[in-house]
């Protein structure tokens, strides 16, 4: 099995979120199962010099972006047995930020999608499966199916498109269809790429890929409903036959309290007394009092409404009257920066905040906290709760997405469970659940048993990699004829192009999938 994993970021080279962790760990786990797995991503300016020094120039060629011919270089290096390819273009990727805003993002990642497909003959590697991830790679299945599939070398490539977060969809001006991709207006229709007056890279991946996956079984179910579906639930219900949820894992070598170089004292299941020393060191670092009778609750997160910060804001005063100290690490929306800055000033010794993303600091927080708060509005999978379990830090989560799939709530009658959870997105449900968790904290033997079960939980990549390998094999058992009707072959049936391009109304997306949108009648 030959696999090319196309992604916009990957550990250890460049990271803004959990997508990079997946890209760094899953291909390696698949390689252990005998897959020839390789990764391709942009060569950003922010990639550390130590990695750039190891890159070797493979080749360079021109990529057509409409009437333009743009330079494309390919660099490569091997890390942990995996070959990584880096798409080099200073105009698109030689800037300070990995991601930007506005219409130019469509051109940047449109170039990347085209470059991935154009690179295959230059590297002599035609994969059995081209695994694409999130909207930045959504045009790869689209271009492959419409412009490359008639070529013998490309005809047997199958595509898997993984949704890591459906909220971010890459919606751009419809004129990019012709200007950058040469597709014309025949695909600016609700059945294909049109999305409420623009074109959606995410929708391209959903329509034209052979299979779709998400990063947890519950999220795969949730996104087929209007509340979580981000206006794509109708399409996802139409393609539910080729939609599968596979839970993410974590790299158990990076996140390991027995070997972690960033924490104060290493510890293990055999002896987790070192966790208390990690907590003492964390309190010293954040200028919090050493109190055996109260718990340390922590958040390591992007500071946004998606992550439940509005729930915390809604009960902030009541929450800080509880017997706990709150540590928050992350960056995000200015409103929550201001809220947390005020809380730190108003409740000295109770709240400590760092507005930064720093890997070593995150390790220290996971190791030193007692409770990890993750009251997300939605969470496709979530890695933070898996990491906290690995370090014996008890997660408190809302029952959504991967949080529901991974955190078994504590049952006092059977003494089972590895965390605490609440169902409704409600501030007081969060507060009452936290009160309940803190009520058990003084019972040290009970809490120690829960910590032990948490650390014993195995959320590595082994099982998930086997599920992906099984899915890849299933994809290759499909013929072109089994492709869903709205994912056309290389030469779809022609449709008359509109005489004058104009944005479609919002209703046209619903009409494209009338059965799926029957609930709106």
Residue 439 CB partners (closer than 8 Å, separation 6+): none
Among 189, 170, 172, smallest CA distance to 496 is for: 189
Among 200, 211, 199, smallest CA distance to 239 is for: 211
Average pLDDT over residues 112-117: 98
pLDDT above 70 coverage of the chain, percent: 92
- Does residue 165 have a pLDDT over 70? yes
- Secondary structure element (H or E) that encloses residue 297, with its range: strand 295-300
Pairing relationship of beta strands 171-172 and 56-65 according to DSSP bridges: unpaired
Residue 482 is classified by DSSP as G
Average pLDDT over residues 390-402: 97
pTM metric for this prediction = 0.89
Instruction: Give the E-state strand segments of 384-493 in sequence order.
Output: 394-398, 420-422
- Secondary structure element (H or E) that encloses residue 56, with its range: strand 56-65
CATH code of the domain made up of 2-249+463-520: 3.40.50.2000
- Give the integer Cα–Cα distance in Å for 204 and 193: 6
- Does residue 110 have a pLDDT over 90? yes
Would you list the domain boundaries of the chain? 2-249+463-520, 274-456
- Give the integer Cα–Cα distance in Å for 251 and 12: 12
Q: How far is CA 53 from the centre of its chain?
A: 28
Identify the pLDDT of residue 481: 39
Half-sphere exposure in the Cβ direction for 202 (13 Å, CA): 23
pLDDT digits (tens, 9 = 90+) for 123-158: 999 999 999 999 999 999 999 999 999 999 999 999
- Secondary structure element (H or E) that encloses residue 37, with its range: strand 36-42
Burial tier of 348 (Cβ tally within 10 Å: 0-12, 13-18, 19+): exposed
Q: How far is CA 312 from CA 319, 373, 375, 427, 445, in A?
A: 8, 10, 8, 7, 29
Average pLDDT, the chain: 91
pLDDT digits (tens, 9 = 90+) for 27-65: 999 999 999 999 999 999 999 999 999 999 999 999 999
The overall longest dimension of the chain from CA atoms, in Å, is 74
pLDDT above 90 coverage of the chain, percent: 85
Among 18, 19, 460, smallest CA distance to 253 is for: 460
Residue 380 CB partners (closer than 8 Å, separation 6+): 163, 164, 165, 166, 214, 215, 216, 219, 401, 402
- Does residue 492 have a pLDDT over 90? no
Beta partners for residue 84, in sequence order? 39, 77
Average pLDDT over residues 340-354: 95
- Give the integer Cα–Cα distance in Å for 45 and 52: 10
- Does residue 482 have a pLDDT over 60? no
Identify the pLDDT of residue 479: 39
CATH class held by domain 274-456: alpha beta
Q: State both tokens at 481.
A: 């004829």
Q: How far is CA 27 from CA 7, 33, 170, in A?
A: 11, 10, 25
| Cβ contact 247:402 at 8 Å | yes
């Amino acid at each position: 099995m030959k696999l090319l994993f196309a992604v916009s970021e990957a550990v250890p080279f460049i990271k803004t979120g959990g997508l990079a962790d997946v890209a760094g760990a899953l291909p390696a786990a698949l390689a252990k199962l005998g897959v020839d797995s390789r990764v391709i991503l942009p060569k950003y300016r922010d990639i550390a010099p130590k990695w750039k020094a190891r890159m070797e120039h493979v080749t360079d060629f021109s990529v057509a972006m409409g009437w333009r011919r743009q330079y494309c270089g390919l660099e490569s290096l091997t890390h942990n047995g995996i070959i990584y390819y880096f798409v080099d273009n200073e105009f698109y990727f030689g800037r300070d930020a990995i991601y930007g805003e506005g219409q130019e993002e469509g051109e940047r990642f449109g170039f990347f999608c085209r470059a991935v497909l154009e690179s295959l003959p230059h590297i002599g590697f035609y994969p059995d499966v081209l695994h694409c991830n999130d909207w930045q790679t959504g045009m790869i299945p689209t271009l492959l199916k419409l412009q490359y599939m008639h070529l013998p070398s490309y005809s047997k490539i199958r595509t898997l498109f993984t949704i890591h977060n459906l909220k971010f969809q890459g919606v751009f001006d419809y004129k990019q269809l012709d200007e950058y991709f040469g597709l014309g207006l025949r695909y600016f229709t609700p059945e294909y790429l049109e999305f409420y007056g623009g074109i959606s890279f995410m929708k391209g991946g959903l329509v034209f890929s052979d299979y779709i996956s998400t990063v947890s079984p519950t999220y795969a179910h949730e996104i087929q409903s209007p509340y979580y579906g981000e206006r794509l639930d109708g399409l996802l219900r139409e393609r539910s036959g080729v939609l599968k949820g596979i839970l993410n894992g974590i790299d158990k070598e990076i996140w390991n309290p027995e070997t972690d170089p960033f924490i104060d004292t290493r510890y293990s299941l055999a002896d987790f007394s070192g966790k208390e020393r990690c907590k003492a060191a964390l309190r010293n670092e954040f200028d919090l009092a050493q109190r055996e009778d109260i718990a340390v609750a922590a958040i390591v997160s992007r500071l946004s409404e998606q992550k439940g910060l509005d729930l915390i804001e809604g009960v902030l005063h009541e929450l800080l009257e509880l017997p706990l100290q709150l540590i928050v690490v992350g960056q995000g929306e200015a409103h929550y920066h201001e809220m947390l800055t005020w809380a730190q000033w108003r409740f000295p010794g109770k709240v400590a905040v760092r507005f930064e993303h720093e890997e070593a600091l995150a390790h220290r927080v996971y190791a030193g906290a007692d409770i990890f708060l993750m009251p997300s509005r939605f969470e496709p999978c979530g890695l933070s709760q898996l990491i906290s379990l690995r370090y014996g830090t008890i997660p408190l989560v809302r029952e959504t997405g991967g949080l529901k799939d991974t955190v078994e709530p504590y049952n006092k009658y059977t003494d089972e469970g590895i965390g605490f959870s609440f169902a409704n997105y409600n501030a007081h449900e969060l507060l009452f659940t936290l009160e309940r968790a803190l009520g058990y904290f003084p019972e040290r033997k009970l809490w120690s048993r829960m910590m032990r079960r948490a650390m014993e939980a195995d959320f590595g990549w082994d099982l998930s990699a086997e599920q992906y390998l099984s899915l890849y094999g299933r994809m290759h058992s499909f013929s072109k004829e089994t492709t869903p009707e709205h994912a056309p072959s290389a030469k779809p049936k022609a449709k008359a192009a509109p005489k004058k391009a104009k944005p479609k109304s919002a209703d046209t997306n619903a009409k494209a999938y009338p059965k799926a949108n029957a609930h709106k009648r």
